[in-house]
Structures are given as C-alpha cells and as structure tokens.
Amino acid sequence: MSERWASAALQTYRWVGLAAYPFLGAYVALRASRGKEQHARRHERYGKASLPRPEGPLVWVHAVSVGETGAVLGLIERMLSKGLNIVLTTGTTTSAALVRERLGDKVIHQYVPLDLKPAVSRFLNYWRPDAAIFAESEVWPMTILELGARRIPQILINGRMSDRSFNRWKKRSALADSLFENFHHVAAQSERDAERFRELGARPVTVTGNLKADVRIPSVDSETKSQLENAIANRPVWAAISTHDGEEKVAARVHRALKKHWPELLTIIVPRHPKRSADIQKMLVEYGLNVSMRSVDKMPDANADIFLGDTIGEMGLYLRMAGVAFVGKSLKGEGGQNPLEPAVLDTAILSGPNVSAFEEAYKKLVAAHGARFVDDEISLAKAVYKLLANDKLRTAMAMSAARVVSDMEGALDDTWDMLGPYIQPLIVNAQLGNAYQTSDDDDINGTQGGKKRIGWK
C-alpha cells in the first residue's frame, strides 16, 4: 500500500464520516434504548461537553471499557496528586459507573466522542487538552489526525497488539505508518507488542509492562464481607467471573454436575455486563436452580444454588468468598479477561483457551502453576471438583498466582517515568498557577503575598 493510497484512504474515511454524521442520531438513540448509552448524556458522543473546563493544564485520558479504566486508575491518581486536571473518557456505561465509584468528582468523566471530524473537533476545541493519553489498543484515525494537526502530544500506554490486529494493520502498512507516526511515544506491555508497534511505524517505543499487574487489592466493606461470610457459612464456593454470553449456562451445568457431590455447593456468577442479569436469572431458574441476586436479595439464602453478582465494583467481595475462580470471555468469547485481580486474592484461577488479550499474563501464570486452562464444560467441572476437593492443591495454585503478580509489578512506576517529559511541564505550570492563586488570595486577605511568598516550595 503506497503513501498516496494511505492518504486517499484517510481522506475517504474523513468524508464518509462527514456524510454519515447527520444520520447517527438514530444509531446513538438505539444504543441508548438498549442500555448501551446513557440517554441523558448521549450528546457527549458528538463532542458536546456536559461540564465546564477547569482552569489550568488538562490531560485527556481515554480508556475504552472497565478493564482499561481499572488499569489507568493508579496513573490518574498520581496525576491528580500533582494538581493536574483530568478529563477521562470511556465508551461504556459500566466503565462510567466504575469511574463514578472509584474517582467520584475528582476527574471529569465524558463519553468518548465518535471518531468523526465534527465530534472530535468539537471535543478538542472545548477541552483544549495539553496532552492525550490512550490505553492499550485505542487507535482512532480521525482522533489521531486531529490531535496531530493541533500538535497535542499523544501517548499510547499499556499498549498491546493482538495477532488479529497486527495482521490487519500489516496488510495496510502505509496506512498504519501514517497513523502510528503521530504517537509521541508508545509504552508497550511486552517486547513482542513493542516490536509490532515499531514494525507498524511507531517511534519511540519502550516496554513498561502491564499496568494491570500493578493491581491494588480490591477493597471491600468489612461489614458486608462479614454478613456474606455468615450467609455462606461453611458451604463450598466457586465463582465464574467476568462471564460472557453463554458462559453462565456453562457455569449452571457445572453447578448441577458438582451438586451431586456437594449438595450445599454455592456458585457465584459475576457477569461482565450486569445489565444482562435479568436474562441470566431467567435462564438459571429454567435450569431448575435457586437464584439470589446481590442487587435484590443482598445476601444468598440457605437454599440458593447461585449467587448472582449483578453489581459493579464488588469483585473484591465475591472473590474473597471463593477459593476457585473461572475467568470468563475465554470459553464462549474471545480475548479473555484480566486474571490478575483474582490472583491477588488467594484464588486458584481457571480459564478457557481464548485469552489473546491477556496472553502474556496467562503464560506466566500457567508456567508457575498459578492458573490452568480448560477446554470445555466437562474439563471445567473436573477442574473445579479437583480444586474444591484438594485444599493443598488449591492453596498452592493461589500462592503461585500471587507470586506471579508480585514479580510483574512495576509497570506503574515505569509508565510514570516514561510520561515525565510530557506531563512534568504541565505539573510545573499547575503548581505555579496554584502558587500565584494562593498569592492573590493572601493579598486580598491583607497577608504576605506576591512573589515573595511563593518561596518555590
């Protein structure tokens, strides 16, 4: 693919977007009607702001969904501690809920604008970010080009490149080069990811590790934890977490198979998208299972077969109850989900084979005997049975998984160091602005002010 062809392709993308823009209202409205957009905030998708821009330096951070959002929380908290303003965009309602729960009003949350010139331009004209930081694999042509035209530094952090994405970009190498050259820096999760980004035209590229490995132990309300422990008592418990469509049925059938050995067995199911919970509950009841829902029943009753964790931000609660966790989107979906959160909570990890999005983490976990792959429903049932019946084996797996996470830590510090040249000047500006603001306030109050008071502390 020639450079001329790549330029023509990007120009076509721009014009097709402009032509489609007036007709996208129905599409966004349809997504809102299905719960995939917040109806009252759908205008944010067109780049229309719902909150005022604060004074001073501002960094735009984008994380598409819950996993990426969780990965950048530590980085965001560091930037906030240095006085920077953050506008954080995400693309899903579940990630928006996570931001609200974990960060509250410390950041400005907006839904990411559609990758169309009118929406992106409106967003950038209003927020005027001093730097743009994208998480993992977010490559949006119009957004990248508009940021480039404004000479706003754009950095890709926690970068990963799946086999599928790499092969797709390789077929359009000139197009990839014309986009990736706009990144001021790419911080990759692994050396393999780094090599792929370099081959596609990104410069410079460094390996900083996986931010998801710098996992904070998920918090839990001690009173709620105590109540749930009392409700479960001494029942054997396993969990199927971050499940994708179809995997709840697998968990239900595994439960029925294992119940022959442990009539008191409790299975915790935590779907990746809690809004599917009503349909999941209906399916479970049709399987003849008694279901307690966290959002309705609060606690599982003594007869519950399934405790359906249909809440956001309580994974730490559910995982503390289960010695074994199957991590979803790996049997029926593709890409897998993050296994490192259960790893830090003394949990033996099981997963299907489809884990391309977390291949590096699973490779290390499996090599250390901290996780096992299962191929289907039958092998999952056998693995859960073996682990629930063997405390020594289960404990050994959990300890190995925890050691792997400990060895993988450090990505947050390395990423922070890499970002230094781009955000350190903004931090200085923010601190100087605060100092002058304090000085002005002191002058108004008749106390020592002006440059003498700043003291360059």
CB 148 within 8 A of CB 182: yes
Given 68, 247, 314, 360, the catalytic residue: 68
Residue 322: CB partners within 8 Å, gap ≥ 6? 237, 238, 239, 268, 347
List the structure tokens of 280. 């999941």
Looking at 153-221, list the stretches that DSSP marks H as alpha helix, in order from N- to C-terminal side.
163-170, 173-180, 191-199
- Give long-range contacts, CB 8 A cutoff, 24+ apart: 400-403: 400/365, 400/368, 400/369, 400/370, 401/339, 401/342, 401/343, 401/347, 401/348, 401/349, 401/365, 401/368, 401/370, 401/371, 402/343, 402/344, 402/346, 402/370, 403/368, 403/370
Q: What's CA 298's distance to the chain center, in Å?
A: 26
Distance CA 21, CA 449 (A): 52
Question: For the chain, how big is the Rg over CA atoms in Å?
Answer: 24
**How deeply is 98 buried, as exposed, middle or buried, from its count of CB atoms within 10 A (0-12, 13-18, 19+)?**
buried
Alpha-carbon span 241 to 66, nearest angstrom: 14
Told to judge if 44 belongs to the known catalytic residues of this protein, a careful annotator would answer no
Question: Amino acid letter at 404?
Answer: V
With 0-12 CB in 10 A as exposed, 13-18 as middle and 19+ as buried, what is 404? buried
In 3D, which of 221, 273, 214 has the Cα closest to residue 76? Answer: 214
Beta carbons of 336 and 351 less than 8 angstroms apart: yes
Between helix 141-149 and helix 3-20 the angle, nearest 10°, is: 100
H or E stretch at 266? strand 266-271
State the Cα–Cα distance between residues 310 and 270, nearest whole angstrom: 6
**Residue position matching structure tokens 């730490």:** 316
Distance between CA 321 and CA 327 in Å, rounded?
15
Catalytic residue numbers read: 68
